Structure 1
Amino acid sequence: MAETLIAARHVWSGGALLADREITLRDGRVTALAPRGTAVADVEAFLASVPFTDLQVNGGGGVMVNSDPSPAGLRAVAAAHRRLGTGDILPTVITDRPEVAEAAAAAVLAGWGETGILGLHIEGPHLAPARRGTHEAAFLRPLDRRSVELVERLRGAGVPVMITLAPERADPGLLRALVACGAVVSAGHSSATAEEARAAFARGVGCVTHLFNAMDPMGSRAPGLLGAAILEPVACGLICDGIHVSWDMLRLALAARPPGARSFAVSDAMATVGGPDSFMLYGRRIALAEGRLINAEGALAGAHLDLRGSLANLCRHVGLPLGEALAMVTDMPRAVMGLAPRRIAPGMEAGDLVLLDRDFALMPLPA
């Protein structure tokens, strides 16, 4: 079979931004990555990258994880994001009946590692009522043994797990059990004070879910979870759509973070990403209006965003250098979950390559 040659002004692989490279494909796989030569390329790309990694994906392709927590449902969500450049996801099951999270866990166990599904993100139901956002109030409850045992079961099978909870709603003993089994425990949907947040970080809470959103705003005398998270070396996820957080606030937060602190982009994507412009959640319609997902009360209800768009926004609107922005959609989220960076190397499936033009639009591989 004939070879395909891709020339790229930039290549992102293994945490390095390389200039002027060419990638050779044969039989649907990468066979070589080398400095640009003199051969005429079949494709000229601005950027060739490893696929993106998203740790907070509520849905995609018209499917919500909560509505269809089955292997087929998770495959449909993963496929929708793969078409948009995100090759690895943590399907995210939000606050619901315990049986829904348990079904999602069973689905992940059935399809883990086969379809770009890295593990499971359990967001809720152990959240602060005052900061629940679109999560259904009737299902909220403090952290309990049932949830801990579910996470322990997944971790016992080697499945990566992130669990978002309000640390002030978590019994310290149960919180220690989550940390001890190797789950990534993330603070979110919380009214925690800065003192409560720091105490939680000391107990092993190592991440913060969608920084700024669903937490108390900072005040001059009350920094809260938000202020503590920015200043501490915990990992922080950010929704980079300019709607959930303004560009100025993103710049401020990223500039204020300690050296080496992991800041990463999440989509918080709902079923509209790669799907129709509305969906049902808790029996109520969520619809896309002028780029925002709005519930019946007019409140934000998740994001209509993917990580390719997040990358573009971080470069265009936040002003990050390309390499820093790329790390936030690839290597940083993987590091949070204890995973190594992905590399463009011989044997990689051609379908895992992400090609973008100068406007950060996806470019198709040649047939």
Structure 2
Amino acid sequence: MSKLTAYLVADLFDGATRRRDVAVLVDGDTIRGVVEPGGLPEGVATIELATGLLAPGFIDLQVNGGGGALLNSAATLDGIRAICTAHARYGTTALLPTLITDTPEVTTAAITAVRDAIAAGVPGCLGIHIEGPHLSVARKGAHNPGYIRPMDEADFQRLVSTGIDHVITTVAAETVPPEQIARLTAAGVTVAIGHSDAPYEMAMAAFNAGARGVTHLFNAMSQLGHRSPGVVGAALDSPDAWCGIIPDGLHVHPAAIANALRAKRAPGRIYIVTDAMSTIGTTMTEFELNGRVIQRAGGKLTLDDGTLAGSDLDMIGAVRFMTGTVGIGLEETLRMASLYPAQFLGIDRTHGRIAPGARADFVHLSDALDVEGVYIGGERQHFAPLG
């Protein structure tokens, strides 16, 4: 039997506009409506949120790890549960556990673990993002070049037969040609271009073949030159290409983020990702990735040679950076953290909004943008103290 609850909200951002003094009516795991408090059904249970702001829960489409677990080395149900729990603390109500370039065996194990997590109802586990191994060695970043390779038919079949509704794969435009991109998208896989040294024309051909956008704009891709616009230029120029971006002040300069937001052609949007590693929600100072030690210091994760290896960023930290440092308005920043990633993935009817028919996934923020409460499927999440 469903449970009807009304959240009495002093300040609501529903994904489109701000509204004052309304009631969000939740039936089980679904929002029934947003009404005036006087229009509530008789006897409905109420929860009062008299201060702060209620907003759609954050959606992070690139999460390598959290809570001490890294998908590459903890491709298990428990590993995914640890990742989702760690990020929920910071307002993330849906995410894609992300596998960095690895062996076919590890890739298969990660797919199985995500499928099991979804079947088990792990709160926040939405699907999987498989980043690599079909990348450019020239733009490998922290990916192990020994595992990077072209896509063969076995790789293709693995991607299209996951049994998971929401699958993103990041590929290089020069490694995976338009014909393969078209086959992947026709089979329901969302393709993003990343870790790619492709010229502008090749990137545009990938978008025309069905690639939906780029993974972490500016990072590990050919840059915007005045004669060679590269992947960055193609992503900003294409009206259909969506762009994830990592706003931690280390991966992309605040001025570059601001310039990208001004340059991006509509209707494409730029959305926030964390590219977070296992350190989120822990006091870890180092961890291993494919046998290599990653150091954590000063909010930065690096290999021994100084190469950035993912981020130490959570979503509420990204929201604060966008508003406080880049200078983007709070409502647009919240769209970048929820509505736009939902639109990119094609799930904006049920995610990224507080509206009738959407999932009851939302985050309660203080005026200082601290996370006061997190609700996934209508259930308030509870977290152990950090230690």
**TM-score, normalization by structure 1:** 0.90
Specify which of 184, 202, 206 is matched with residue 196 of structure 1.
202
The alpha-carbon distance between structure 1 residues 333 and 5, as it changes in their structure 2 partners (threshold 3 A), is closer
The residue type equivalent to 1:293 in the other structure is L
2:365 to 345, 348, 356: 356
2:19 aligns with 19
More moved, 143-152 vs 206-215:
143-152
Q: For residues 135 and 89 of structure 1, what CA distance do their matches in structure 2 show?
A: 21
In 2, the alpha carbon distance for the partners of 1:6 and 1:62 equals 36
| Secondary structure of 1:340 counterpart | coil
Deviation at 1:50, TM superposition (A): 2.0
1:324 maps to amino acid: E
Q: Partner of 2:141 in structure 1? A: 133
Structure-2 separation of matches of 1:17 and 1:186: 29
Taking the aligned partners of 1:327 and 1:159, their CA distance within structure 2 comes to 23
Distance apart, 1:31 and its partner CA: 8.5
Residues 143 and 171, structure 1, Cα contact 8 Å, conserved in 2: no
Give secondary structure in 1 for the equivalent of 2:52.
Answer: strand
Matched, 1:44 2:53: no
Q: Which one of the candidate residues 267, 272, 276 is aligned to 1:269? A: 276
**Bigger shift: 80-89 or 165-174?**
165-174
Query: Taking structure 1 as reference, are residues 62 and 311 closer, same or farther at Cα in structure 2, changes over 3 Å only?
Result: same
| Identical columns (%) | 40
Q: Could you say what secondary structure the match of 1:317 adopts?
A: helix
Q: 2:377 is matched with which residue?
A: none
SS in 2 for 1:19: strand
Aligned residue pairs total 359
Amino acid at match of 1:18: R
**Structure 2 CA distance for aligned equivalents of residues 101 and 311 of structure 1:** 31
1:281 lines up with 2:289 in the alignment: yes
Q: Displacement of 1:43 after TM fit?
A: 4.0
Q: For structure 1, which segment, 339-348 or 211-220, has the greater mean C-alpha deviation from structure 2 after superposition?
A: 339-348
| 1:346 Cα offset (Å) | 8.4
Give the corresponding residue for 1:332: 340
Q: Does 1:72 align with 2:78?
A: yes
Change over 3 Å in CA distance of 1:77–1:313 after alignment to 2? same
Amino acid at match of 2:136: A
Q: Deviations over 1:262-303 (max 9, x none)?
A: 211101010011123322111222122111112222221111
Output the CA distance in 1 between the equivalents of 2:28 and 2:140: 45
Q: How does 1:1-367 map to 2 (within 5 A)?
A: 6-9=8-11, 11-13=12-14, 15-23=15-23, 33-35=34-36, 43-112=49-118, 114-115=121-122, 116-154=124-162, 157=163, 159-233=165-239, 234-277=241-284, 278-341=286-349, 342=351, 343-344=353-354, 352-364=361-373
Judge conservation of contact 1:144–1:174 (CA < 8 Å) in 2: no
Deviations 1:5-45 (A, max 9, x none): 65433x122x32223234478999888744578xxx95433
Judge conservation of contact 1:28–1:349 (CA < 8 Å) in 2.
no
Aligned partners of 1:259, 1:320: CA distance in 2, in Å? Answer: 17
Partner of 2:41: none
RMSD: 2.7
1:348, distance to aligned residue in structure 2 (A) = 8.6
In structure 1, the gaps of 5 or more residues are: none
- Greater shift in the superposed pair: 180-189 or 332-341: 332-341
* One-letter identity of the residue aligned with 2:263: A
Q: Structure 1, residues 110-162: CA drift from partner, whole Å, max 9, x if none?
A: 122622211110000111001000001111101221221011102xx352110
Other structure's SS at 1:363 match: strand
TM norm structure 2: 0.85
Residue 271 of structure 2 aligns to a residue whose secondary structure is strand
Secondary structure at 1:45 match in 2: coil
Q: What is the alpha-carbon distance in structure 2 between the residues aligned to residue 364 and residue 48 of structure 1?
A: 9
Q: Which moved more, 1:293-302 or 1:28-37?
A: 28-37
C-alpha separation between the residues in 2 aligned to 1:101 and 1:63? 16
